[in-house]
Chains A and B, each alone.
Chain A
Amino acid sequence: MISIRDLRKVYRQGEREVVALDGIDLTVPTGAVHGIIGHSGAGKSTLVRCLTLLDRPTSGSVSIDGSELSTAADRDLLQARRRIGMVFQHANLLDSRTVLGNVAYPLEVTGQDKAGRTARARELLGLVGLEDYEASYPSQLSGGQRQRVGIARALASDPRVLLCDEPTSALDPATTDGILELIRDLSDRLGLTVVVITHEMHVVKKICTSVSLLDQGRIVEGGVLTEVASDLGSRLSAALLPLPEAALDTAGPLVEVLGHGPAADVPVSTVIKDRFGHGVRVLAGSVEDLAGVRFAHHLLALPDGAEGRTDGADAVVAFLEQNGYRAAQRTRTQVETAQGTAQDLGGAQ
């Protein structure tokens, strides 16, 4: 379990103080795959450096499985760091070593004998599917293969926690999915707690069980993926379940509807027609499965003049809410803002 309490990091830039982390509180239970998403400048890199104690936080605490990192003495810090496996954006392998030598490196610094670390490194290369490449040098591998070596290396010291910093941001989409599946699979098989830092919602959707939104050094939204997604109107929901660009050329009121589970399988326009007797136009819609739950997200246009009537927007929203949907009336500006949020967090379609 990872526990972060009121973590703050303030940099001095000449006379100015820059608050990079402004009181982060976060608990990631054992076995969870937690995504931390934010656009550049939100404090992601600083958070990673504070979690691995590459930089000392200004205040606050970071503990892993109950042992406190932020106050550890230098000597204990070496031991503490070995309990965290870290995967970097650019793999950061040693070019002067073979693949096997790279994976064996963490064992070498802890003083394990050569036979032992070679055997363990081979086993790890098997785990990431690169057993045939042990004598290759990193420069001879593709980006995806290098990242697999990076993952094998991160697992060498048998960490309880895997910290992935933008693990797929330098990879093409097909390779990205392969690496994400590997991380998810390893987390399941080895019972690892995984923290993935990313600016791409795709990564969160693909492997995370929970997510936090980092903005200006604070966690502003977060929770279990399916709960966060069904919180209509939140930034994470807008980015997790983005709607395609809609032509907002209708005069009638707009209603945004989100159904999940069984409700997602019933056509919402039919439900409304059955109750109110008039049809609605679907301006945009998307249906997606997140963490095994189906979500149907729609933007509807009610007939012009429906406002204020008993079958107006308020009545439709109230009816939908009573029937297990999340619904809200939206202005055109709100729709556009949500679109912008989705784009900002790499979730736009």
Chain B
Amino acid sequence: MNWFQELLANPALTEALPEAFVETLVMVGISGVFTLVIGLALGVILHVTAPGGLRPVSWLHVLLSAVINVTRSIPYAILMVALIPFTAWLVGTSIGPIAACVSLTIGTAPFFARLVETSLREVPSGTVDAARVMGSTRGQIVRKVLLPEAMPGLVASITTTLVMLVGYSAMAGLIGGGGLGRLAYNYGYQRFDTAVMIATIVIMVILVQLIQWIGDRIVRAVDHR
């Protein structure tokens, strides 16, 4: 059991790792909430303002669509660096998990918005027509018809987005975000501490599996189709 005692004696594993794990959870948690709220709003606006939508507004749809496409075409590794001045201005610092949340949210919200738009588009037009014929207002159609009917797709999209955030948060760690990404880089890469590298990978895999498993369970519970 020599190697096990060695592991327990390694402060990188006993002290830095738990701290880094919490930082990762904070990053994914905070940016996750912002991404879901902003992305959901953008996705609904995209769908509603589209030609033939509930309230077609051509210029808004084109503008929003363009902004989302531009943001999505910038690789996250570049986006997070490019956003450093903006982050410093917005939250007062460009270092740490809170600062990382800014670029994480801006990097993933447009992606989630597109997934939301796709899910909403899958609600049959006949269902929306029925709601209109029954005298629903546009707000009622969004809240009582579009979102509930698209719920299985939306939950699956949330799962995908959170998994992506876990990956991005590790990248954010490299430029001062902290978390498991930074731990793996500092110890695993720069100090050749293989144990830390492996432990980080195992934790990431478990975290992603857990998110996916919970997401799939919720999809099954809300899917009545």
Contact = CB atoms under 8 A, between A and B. Distances in A.
B145 A94 contact: yes
Interface string A107-147: 01110000000000000000000000000011100000000
Contact of A52 (B133, B136, B140): B133
A322 interface: no
B59 to A, nearest CB: 21
B191 interface: no
B135 A54 contact: no
Q: Which 5 A-B pairs have the closest CB atoms?
A: A92-B130, A82-B135, A96-B148, A137-B224, A92-B126
Contacts of A82: 134-135
B216 interface: no
17 contacts: A54-B133, A78-B136, A79-B135, A86-B130, A86-B133, A92-B126, A92-B130, A94-B145, A94-B148, A96-B148, A96-B151, A96-B222, A109-B135, A109-B136, A110-B135, A153-B134, A157-B135
B149 interface: yes
Interface string A264-305: 000000000000000000000000000000000000000000
B2 interface: no
Contacts of A81: 132-135
- Interface of chain B: mostly helix, strand, loop or mixed: helix
A205 to B, nearest CB: 27
Interface of A: 52, 54, 78-79, 81-82, 84, 86, 88, 90, 92-97, 105-106, 108-110, 137-139, 153, 157
A95 B151 CA distance: 10
A82 B140 CA distance: 15
Interface of B: 124, 126-127, 129-137, 140, 144-145, 148-149, 151, 222, 224-225
Given A54-B129, A157-B134, 13 more contacts: A54-B133, A82-B135, A86-B130, A90-B126, A92-B126, A93-B130, A94-B131, A96-B149, A105-B134, A105-B144, A137-B224, A138-B224, A139-B225
A109 B126 contact: no
B140 A95 contact: no
A105 B136 CA distance: 9
Given A90-B126, A108-B144, A95 B224 contact: yes
Given A88-B126, A97-B148, A139-B225, A109 B137 contact: yes
